[in-house]
């Protein structure tokens, strides 16, 4: 630590605010907020960190700056602004391949409704509603809105002296030809906004009142159009799940799952007691603390929200973040109203709703996993070539096998063998092994030696094809013990033989035989994702077999009593 930095740390005040870390090139590499700046900054430089990322960050800090705020909630808002502005390397920046669309009601004398992307969220253009994560559903909603509300379709009139076709088919009121007054048109816009805000009950009442008014004035054609709109809207409401009867409760239920580098987040929107929408978000992210990712997502989502804010947010993942009061204060500032946070515990309605959201998140995660594996399958020549290059393989990895050990304190020790062919699981080739040499004494090294000895002894036998690559679940020690067996059995490695590597879970390091340094594949690469999935599948298969044996042993011991 340089002398200037050391002096700066001593001067940090015990007040709320934001701190900024710079590297030797003068680039901001991290922004954080704290209730007590002195305590937070001090902790970076005077305690051990389990996170490799934090240790690397600290080693690169050359300069420190801080900004004092009046409260922690102000620090939270400032931190979000600074992260968005500077995009520091060590802050989490959620990225995916989507730019979620919004509805825009344009700022014109006679507004139109358009679909725009996030980068075009200029408040001078009009009022925004979104984001919408299901683009297909969004365009269906747009079609429904255009059917229900005959808004202006064109930016400029197509004709100077007559209405265009949209007017004649009932999809525009032709304001360009003076066929509707600005006051009547604004009523229509207000109804669109009610619909987009989830206030359908209020909208139904307004349409019903208009229908009655036109009928009493003997404007039967307009009354008939209002009746059709009323019936169409009523059908839409009937399709929405009723969560609470006879209530005006507005809530967001949020569930998160993180597995295999995939972050799946579901937000279920309840407005006026009805489930009106479900928003799905998937991110392919580094294998780090999911709570930190969720906190970033939560702040970014509600900062950019252009829909009616809920009265309550329900999420068990918010309990992991903590700081409930801080986030309730923050939500009040950005929304202009009181929003309470509930953790969705217990068996009441919030617990049930959270479980429903979690079920949807499970489905979202599985779909994302399948899409990722389908992409790997389609691009396997490229993925396999990349693996061969980065791991210095001598064979193209068409057939990959992976092994894992499972036991409880040395009892019922089993091993699994899973096989992936051209990037996809080949379940007919999976094998289970009962380990015989280590019963009663936990020894994963010896267990792995036994299973590899038994497997390699069958090379060339029917249904025991030679693998191109064998992955061992573990670190350098596991791989070394396996290579002893390979050498003793005279198994050919290298060209036309078998390649061996091991994968250590903590930092996803790949070890090669006779090499002390590990290899780190890019976190977002399909190659790393593939070998992670193979390793996790071997782990799942071993645990399932182990549980089956334990269950049988338990039943057998119960019968003997």
Q: Are residues 464 and 335 in the same domain?
A: no
Query: DSSP assignment, residue 429?
Result: G
Query: Following DSSP, what letter does each residue of 281-310 receive, concatenated?
Result: EEEE--SS-HHHHHHHHHHHHHHH--SPPP
3-state secondary structure 89-105: CCCCCCCCCCCCEEEEE
Are residues 257 and 237 part of one domain? no
CB burial of 312-343 (b: ≥16 within 10 Å; e: otherwise) equals: bbbbbbbeebebeebbebbbeebeeeebebbb
Task: Report the alpha-carbon distance of residue 359 to residue 278 in Å, rounded.
Answer: 12
- Cα-based angle 454, 460, 464 (whole degrees, multiple of 5): 60
Indicate whether 134 belongs to any domain: yes
- The residue out of 329, 346, 370 marking a domain boundary is 370
136: its two tokens: 């297909």
- Quick one: 233 and 261 in the same domain? no
Q: Tell me, yes or no, whether 375 lies in a domain.
A: no
- Residue 345: inside a domain: yes
Q: What is the pLDDT along the chain (561 residues), one digit of tens a residue?
A: 788 888 889 999 999 999 999 999 999 999 999 999 999 999 999 887 777 778 889 999 999 999 999 999 999 999 999 998 999 988 887 765 467 788 889 888 889 888 888 656 676 788 888 888 878 878 888 888 888 888 888 887 777 788 888 888 778 888 888 888 888 888 888 888 888 887 777 888 887 887 888 788 777 777 777 787 777 777 766 555 566 655 677 899 999 998 877 889 999 998 888 888 889 999 887 656 788 889 999 999 999 888 889 999 999 999 988 889 999 999 999 999 999 999 988 777 788 888 889 999 999 998 888 888 888 888 999 999 999 999 999 999 999 999 998 877 657 788 899 999 999 999 999 999 988 876 667 677 888 888 899 999 999 898 899 999 999 988 888 898 889 989 989 998 878 889 999 998 777 889 999 888 889 888 778 899 899 889 989 998 999 888 888 777 666 555 554
Would you say residue 304 lies in a domain? no
Q: Are residues 320 and 408 in the same domain?
A: no
Distance CA 391, CA 239 (A): 53
- Both 257 and 160 in one domain: the answer is no
What is the DSSP track for 53-84? Answer: HHHHHHHH--EEEEEE-SSHHHHHHHHHHHHH
Identify the CATH number of the domain in which residue 411 sits.
3.30.420.340
Q: Nearest 5 degrees, angle CA 534-CA 537-CA 539?
A: 115
> Is the Cβ–Cβ distance between 257 and 264 less than 8 Å?
yes
Same domain, 364 and 392: no
Hey, is 235 helix, strand or coil? helix
Q: Which of 95, 65, 102, 99 is nearest to 82 (CA)?
A: 65
SS3 category, 412: strand
User: Domain containing 66 — which CATH number?
Assistant: 3.40.1440.10
Contacts of 559 by beta carbon, 8 Å cutoff, 6+ apart: none
Task: Give the count of domains, the chain.
Answer: 4
Residues 264 and 231 in one domain: no
Is the residue at 129 inside a domain?
yes
The β-bridge partners of 171 are none
* DSSP calls for 353-377: HHHHHHHHHHHHHHHHHHHHHHHHH
pLDDT digits (tens, 9 = 90+) for 188-208: 888 888 888 877 778 888 878
**Pair (17, 152) in one structural domain:** no
* Helices 476-489, 444-456: inter-axial angle, 10-degree rounding: 40
Cβ within 8 Å of residue 22, ≥6 positions away: 28, 29, 61, 62, 63, 64, 65
Distance of CA 87 to the CA centre of its chain: 19
Same domain, 219 and 291: no
Collapsing DSSP states into helix, strand and coil, what is residue 224?
Answer: helix
Strands, sheet with 312-314, edge to edge from the N-terminal-most edge strand: 241-242, 274-284, 262-271, 251-259, 312-314, 340-342
Tens digit of each residue's pLDDT (9 = 90 or more) over 267-297: 999 888 888 888 999 988 765 678 888 999 9
Do 8 and 149 fall into the same domain?
no
- Residues in contact with 345: Cβ distance below 8 Å, sequence separation at least 6, in sequence order: 316, 319, 351
- Three-class secondary structure of residue 124 per DSSP: helix
Which structural domain range is residue 222 located in?
A: 101-241
Residue 116, domain member (yes or no): yes
DSSP summary character for residue 467: P
96 to each of 93, 100, 532, how far by Cα in Å? 10, 10, 20
């Amino acid at each position: 630590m340089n002398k200037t930095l050391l002096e700066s740390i001593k001067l940090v005040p015990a007040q709320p605010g934001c701190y900024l870390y710079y590297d030797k090139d003068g680039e901001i590499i991290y922004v954080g907020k704290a209730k007590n700046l002195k305590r937070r900054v001090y902790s970076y430089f005077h305690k051990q960190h389990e996170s490799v990322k934090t240790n690397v960050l600290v080693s690169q800090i050359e300069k420190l700056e801080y900004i004092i705020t009046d409260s922690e909630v102000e620090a939270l808002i400032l931190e979000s602004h600074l992260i968005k502005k500077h995009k520091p390397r060590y802050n989490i920046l959620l990225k995916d391949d989507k730019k979620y669309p919004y509805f825009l009601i344009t700022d014109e004398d006679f507004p139109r409704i358009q679909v725009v992307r996030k980068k075009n969220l200029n408040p001078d253009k009009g009022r925004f509603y979104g984001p919408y994560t299901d683009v297909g559903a969004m365009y269906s909603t747009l079609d429904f809105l255009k059917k229900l509300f005959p808004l202006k379709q064109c930016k400029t009139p197509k004709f100077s002296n007559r209405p265009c076709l949209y007017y004649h088919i009932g999809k525009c009121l032709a304001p360009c030809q003076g066929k509707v007054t600005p006051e009547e048109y604004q009523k229509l816009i207000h109804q669109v906004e009610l619909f987009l805000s989830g206030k359908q009950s209020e909208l139904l009442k307004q349409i019903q009142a208009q229908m009655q008014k036109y009928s009493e004035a003997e404007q039967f054609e307009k009354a008939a159009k209002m009746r059709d709109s009323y019936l169409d809207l009523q059908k839409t409401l009937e399709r929405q799940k009723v969560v609470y009867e006879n209530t005006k409760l507005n809530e967001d239920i949020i569930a998160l799952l993180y597995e295999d580098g995939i972050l799946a987040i579901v937000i279920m929107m309840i407005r006026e007691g009805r489930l009106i929408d479900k928003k799905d978000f998937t991110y392919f992210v580094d294998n780090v603390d999911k709570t930190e990712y969720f906190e970033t997502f939560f702040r970014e989502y509600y900062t950019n929200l252009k829909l009616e804010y809920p009265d309550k947010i329900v999420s068990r993942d918010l309990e992991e973040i903590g700081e409930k009061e801080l986030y309730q204060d923050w939500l009040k500032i950005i929304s202009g109203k009181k929003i309470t946070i509930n953790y969705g515990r217990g068996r009441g309605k919030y617990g049930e709703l959270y479980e429903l959201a979690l079920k949807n998140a499970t489905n979202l995660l599985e779909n994302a996993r399948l899409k990722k594996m389908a992409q790997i399958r389609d691009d396997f020549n490229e993925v396999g070539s990349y693996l061969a290059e980065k791991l210095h393989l001598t064979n193209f990895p068409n057939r990959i096998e992976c092994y894992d050990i499972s036991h409880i304190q040395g009892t019922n020790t089993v091993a699994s063998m899973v096989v992936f062919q051209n990037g996809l699981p080949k379940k007919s080739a999976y094998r289970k092994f009962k380990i015989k040499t280590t019963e009663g004494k936990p020894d994963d090294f010896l267990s792995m030696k036994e299973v590899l000895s038994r497997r390699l002894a069958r090379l060339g036998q029917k249904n025991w094809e030679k693998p191109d690559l064998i992955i061992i679940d573990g670190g350098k020690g596991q791989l070394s013990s396996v290579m002893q067996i390979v050498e003793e059995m005279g198994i050919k490695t290298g060209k036309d033989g078998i390649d061996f590597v091991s994968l250590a879970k903590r930092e996803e390091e790949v070890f090669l035989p006779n090499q002390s340094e590990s290899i780190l594949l890019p976190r977002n690469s399909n190659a790393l994702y593939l070998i992670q999935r193979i390793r996790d599948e071997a782990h799942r298969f071993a645990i399932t077999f182990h549980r089956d044996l334990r269950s049988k042993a338990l039943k057998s011991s119960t019968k003997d009593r």
